[in-house]
Amino acid sequence: MIAEARKAVDALALDLEWIELPWGTEHFHAHGTMMPPDALEIARQHDAILLGAVGHPSVPDHITLWGLLLPLRQGLDLYANIRPARLLDGVPSRLEGRPPVDMLFVRENTEGEYAGVGGRAHQGLDLEVGIETSVFTRAGVRRVVEHAFELAQGRRGVLTSATKSNASRYGYVLWDEVVEEVHEAHPDVTVERVLVDALAARMVSHPSSLDVVVASNLFGDILTDLAAVLQGGMGMAASASVGAEKIAMFEPVHGSAPDIAGQGIANPLGAIWSASLLLDHLGEADGAQRLMRAVESVCREGVLTRDVGGSATTSEVGDSVAARV
Ligand code: IPM
Ligand code: MG
C-alpha cells in the first residue's frame, strides 16, 4: 500500500524526501521490539509519517499495537485522528439508493478507552479479573472537541458528538459538558449530541444527515469502520493523526489483512488518500488536490480492486493514479 502511495506522490515531482523506517513485525522478530527504543526521537526528525498497517499472525495483536501504533499516536501526542468518509463517484455503494456519503470523523486519539490503564489479577485462576479503565481528561477532551468545531466551521457548520452518557455516567458526562463549553466559543456551529448506538443506526439509515462527527477513541474506531463501508469498503478509508507538534501521521484505516498478503489484490486507495492528507499537512495543498483528483478519476473510470467491484491489481490502481497525476 505504501509503495503505491509513494509512487503516486512521486509522480507529483515535489521537493520531498522519503526516509524508510523498517519498523514492524520483522523488526520484532529480529530485535524483540516493534521499533527501536528511540523511535519517538527518530520520528520527530521528520515532518510527517506515512504508516502502513502493522500486524501479523506470528505476534499477538496487542503486543504489535502497543509496540508501535499506539506509542506513536500517544507518544507524539497526536490527539486528533481525522477520518474523511466520502463515497466517490464510480465506487459502488453498499446502501440501497446510493445515498450520498460525505462525513468527517474526528476521533480522540490518545486517551479514552485506549489509555492503557488497567491490569489483571489472579491470573490463571477461576476468579481471574481483567480491568480496562477509560481515561477522559478535561484538557484532552477539550482539545479534540475544539479541533472538531473548527473543522465544522469550515464545512456545513454542523457537529455531531457521539457519547454514551446514559449508561456511562462519568467520562462521557464530562465529555458532554466540555462540548457545551466549547460550543459557547463557537455559537455559529450547530451541535447535536447523539448516543453512539443511535448514531451507528443513523449512519446507515440517514447518512447524508451527518457531516462532522466527534467521538471518543473507541467509539471513533468503531464508527469509522462503519463509515469506511459506507464509502465503499475498508480499503477506501484514509486518516490523519495530528496534534500540537509539527509532526503528524497518516495511515489507511484498514488493517494488514494477512489473509490476502502478497496476492497484489488489496486496495491502495486508502493509503493514497492518506498521502494526499499528508501533502496538505506539509503545505502542499496543490499537490494534495491533484492527487485526490487523480484518485477520483480512477474511481470514475472504474480502475478499482475487487473489494470495490473492479478487477485491477494493487499496482495497476497505483500506476493509474500516478499516470493521472
Ligand atoms: C484503527 C485500528 C487501530 C485502532 C488498531 C489497529 C489498534 O483499528 O486505526 O482504526 O483501534 O485505533
Ligand atoms: Mg479501527
Kindly report, residue by residue over 170-184, the tens digit of the pLDDT.
999 999 999 999 999
Q: Rounded to whole angstroms, how far apart are CA atoms 323 and 145?
A: 39
Domain 93-231 class? alpha beta
Reported confidence tier of residue 299, pLDDT bands at 50, 70, 90: very high
CA 252 – ligand 2 centroid, Å: 10
| CATH 3.40.718.10 domain extents, the chain | 1-78+257-325, 93-231
Cα 314 to middle of ligand 2, angstroms = 22
- Catalytic position from the list 10, 61, 170, 197: 197
Q: Would residue 102 show up in a list of annotated catalytic residues for this protein?
A: no
| CB atoms closer than 10 angstroms to residue 181 | 14
**pLDDT tens column, 262-275:** 999 999 999 999 99
**What are the grid coordinates assigned to 136, written together?**
477522559
Mean pLDDT in residue range 79-89: 98
Predicted pLDDT at 195: 98
Instruction: Confirm whether 225 is a catalytic residue.
Output: yes
In the predicted model, what is the mean pLDDT of residues 96-117? 98
Residue 79 a catalytic site member: no
Residue 47 binned pLDDT confidence (cut-offs 50, 70, 90): very high
Residue 246 annotated as catalytic: no
From the CA of 62, which ligand is nearest?
A: 1
pLDDT at 173: 98
Indicate whether residue 53 lines ligand 1 (CB < 6 A): no
Any atom of ligand 1 within 6 Å of the Cβ of 65: yes
pLDDT at 284: 98
Give the SS3 label for residue 289: helix
Task: Name the grid cell of 214.
Answer: 466527534
pLDDT attached to residue 13: 97
CATH placement of domain 1-78+257-325: 3.40.718.10
- What's the rounded mean pLDDT across residues 58-81? 97
221 C-beta closer than 6 A to ligand 1: yes
Instruction: Give the pLDDT confidence score for residue 193 in this predicted structure.
Output: 98
The verdict on the CB of residue 69 being under 6 Å from ligand 1 is yes
Say whether 38 is catalytic: no
pLDDT in tens, 286-297: 999 999 999 999
Which pLDDT band holds residue 162 (cuts at 50, 70, 90)?
A: very high
pLDDT value of position 147: 98
Q: How far is the CA of 13 from the centre of ligand 2 (A)?
A: 32
Whole-number pLDDT of residue 39? 98
Q: Cα–Cα distances in Å, from 14 out to 43, 287, 296, 318?
A: 21, 8, 20, 18
pLDDT at residue 308, rounded to an integer: 98
- d(CA 89, CA 48) in angstroms, rounded, equals 29
Mean pLDDT, all residues of the chain: 97
**Torsion region of 108: left, alpha or beta (phi above 0 gives left; psi -120 to 50 gives alpha):** beta
pLDDT in tens, 114-151: 999 999 999 999 999 999 999 999 999 999 999 999 99
Give the closest residue (by CA) to ligand 1 atom 7.
65
pLDDT at 325: 96
Give the mutation target among 66, 69, 110 for probing the ligand 1 site: most ligand atoms within 8 A of CB: 69
Q: CB of 163 within 8 A of CB of 192?
A: no
